Amino acid sequence: MPFIKTAHTSPAFFADEFPPHEEIENYVLKPLYSFAGLGVDMEPTREKLAALKNPHQWLLQKKVDYASFVPTVDGPKSKAELRMMFIWSEQGEPVLLNNLVRMSQGKMMGVDFNKDKTWVGSSIALHDQ
């Protein structure tokens, strides 16, 4: 993520390269080699960064504020994340192959953060070819 710099990606830094002028409360701290939200710290501090044994194996990524907009039948609206998966040939335009829709009512996307909640989880969305 620190190497991808576009208008469509959340800014990210290796923990040992986090700029001193950035406001750390606007970032999440993530282990580089993890998945499903394991080890993610939603409230990092400069002290936590200084205590990391291998800071180059950790990322700070700017927080994304998901809007609660999906109506549910039993109360609070759910948040949604839509991941689009493309292939892009050398000669042509990108082709949408598949997608992943993740819904949440917790602090983060993922099963462990949405226990005992309804209208959460993952699915796919229909799309034209």
Give the model confidence (pLDDT) of 18-70 as tens digits.
999 999 999 999 999 887 677 889 899 999 999 999 999 999 999 888 888 88
pLDDT digits (tens, 9 = 90+) for 60-117: 999 888 888 888 888 788 888 888 888 988 888 888 888 888 888 777 766 666 667 7
The Cα–Cα gap between 123 and 81 comes to: 11
Residue pair 99/125 in contact (Cβ under 8 Å)? The answer is yes
In whole angstroms, what is the distance from residue 68 CA to residue 79 CA? 4
- How many CB atoms neighbour CB 110 within 10 A? 18
Q: Which amino acid is at 88?
A: W
In this structure, the strands spanning 58-62 and 27-31 are antiparallel
Distance, CA of 99 to CA of 86 (rounded, Å): 9
Q: What pTM was computed for the model?
A: 0.70
* Domain range annotation of the chain: 12-62, 68-123
pLDDT at 113: 65
Nearest to 11 by CA among 57, 82, 63: 63
Token pair 């892009």 in the structure block, residue: 88
